[in-house]
Structures are given as structure tokens and as C-alpha cells.
């Protein structure tokens, strides 16, 4: 079975992320969307909230699973016996960081491949940070995030 891991903070998950998940699920037998717990960041949503939002957003994708991890990604990948890491690219500006990331993964384990997938052009400008900035200012994020995320963000920023 070809198992791929799609790691990220997903704070929040956007339609750009989901584009990568859907397309990854067409290429691989099983995709694990792995939410990173990064204690250095101050997320809008807890890890459990992010996992639940992703689960709700990927309902019906029978070969997609949602999980979380902390520590080194390569250790998590090894624990799953996966051999592919999916990384999404929006624009050329993402490439330098992602090249460094993939090179480090290759150094840590040459048997694990990093696969870059370009997001749909309609989401090439989209990031979780931009979505949070717009939503925190009362702007409309409809069409940028799944409806369940839109509602959850509305509740968070109402407080």
C-alpha cells in the first residue's frame, strides 16, 4: 500500500489544503493529514479542533485519515511505515523553503520521498495566515475555507 503523509499546521485548514488532500488521495492508497503540534506558535485553533475541522472537511474521502504529531516529522513518518511526504506549493516563493525541507528529509532518510503538488491556481494566494488576518478584521472568507471552518472562525473571533 502506498501511504503518504501530508503534514502541516493547518491553522486553519483552507480550500488550498483540501485541494492537495483530494488530489493526493487520488494518487495514493492512503493519505494521513498530520497536524503538527508546535508549542512555539500561538494557534487560533487547538490541535484537537484542527483535527476535527479537517475530519469534517474530508468526510467522504475514505482513504484519508487525520492525525497529529509533535517532534520530528521523519520519526512520525517512520512510525507509520510511510515512504512519501506530500508538500503543497502555491507559488515560486514557497519553493526555496520547501527545497530546504525536502533536502533535510532526504538527508534524514533517503528512502522517504517528498512529493510537491501545485495547488489549484485559484488558491495560489491563499494561506492560513491571510485567512486569519481577513477573518479577524471581520472580512469574508467564504470560498477560501470549508463552511465548517468559516463558522468556527466566526465563533472564535466573536469572543
Q: Which residues are annotated as a binding site for ATP?
A: 9-10, 17, 88-90, 98, 123-129
For residue 14, give the 3-state DSSP assignment: coil
The active-site residue, picked from 2, 41, 106, 151, is 41
Residue 57's Cβ-count burial label (10 Å; 0-12, 13-18, 19+) is buried
Q: Do the Cβ atoms of 87 and 98 come closer than 8 Å?
A: yes
Q: Please state the residue numbers annotated as binding site for substrate.
A: 9, 41, 73, 87
Catalytic annotation present for 128 = yes
Catalytic annotation present for 78 = no
Q: Please state the residue numbers annotated as binding site.
A: 9-10, 17, 41, 73, 87-90, 98, 123-129
Catalytic annotation present for 90 = yes
Catalytic annotation present for 17 = yes
Tally of residues, the chain: 159
For residue 44, give the 3-state DSSP assignment: coil
Tell me which DSSP letter residue 142 carries.
B
The active-site residue, picked from 50, 51, 90, 132, is 90
The active-site residue, picked from 17, 50, 51, 132, is 17
Active site residues: 17, 41, 90, 128
Amino acid at each position: 500500500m502506498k501511504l503518504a503523509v501530508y503534514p502541516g499546521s493547518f491553522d486553519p485548514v483552507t480550500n488550498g489544503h483540501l485541494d492537495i488532500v483530494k488530489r493526493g488521495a487520488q494518487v495514493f492508497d492512503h493519505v494521513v493529514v498530520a497536524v503538527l503540534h508546535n508549542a512555539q506558535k500561538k494557534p487560533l485553533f487547538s490541535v484537537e479542533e484542527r483535527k476535527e475541522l479537517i475530519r469534517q472537511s474530508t468526510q467522504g474521502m475514505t482513504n484519508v485519515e487525520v492525525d497529529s504529531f509533535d517532534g520530528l516529522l521523519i520519526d512520525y513518518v517512520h512510525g507509520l511505515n510511510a515512504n512519501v511526504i506530500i508538500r503543497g506549493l502555491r507559488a515560486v516563493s514557497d519553493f526555496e523553503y520547501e527545497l530546504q525541507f525536502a533536502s533535510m528529509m532526504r538527508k534524514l532518510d533517503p528512502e522517504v520521498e517528498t512529493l510537491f503538488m501545485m495547488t489549484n491556481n485559484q488558491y495560489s494566494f491563499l494561506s492560513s495566515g491571510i485567512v486569519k488576518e481577513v477573518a479577524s478584521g471581520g472580512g469574508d472568507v467564504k470560498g477560501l475555507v470549508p463552511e465548517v471552518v468559516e463558522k468556527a472562525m466566526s465563533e472564535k473571533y466573536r469572543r
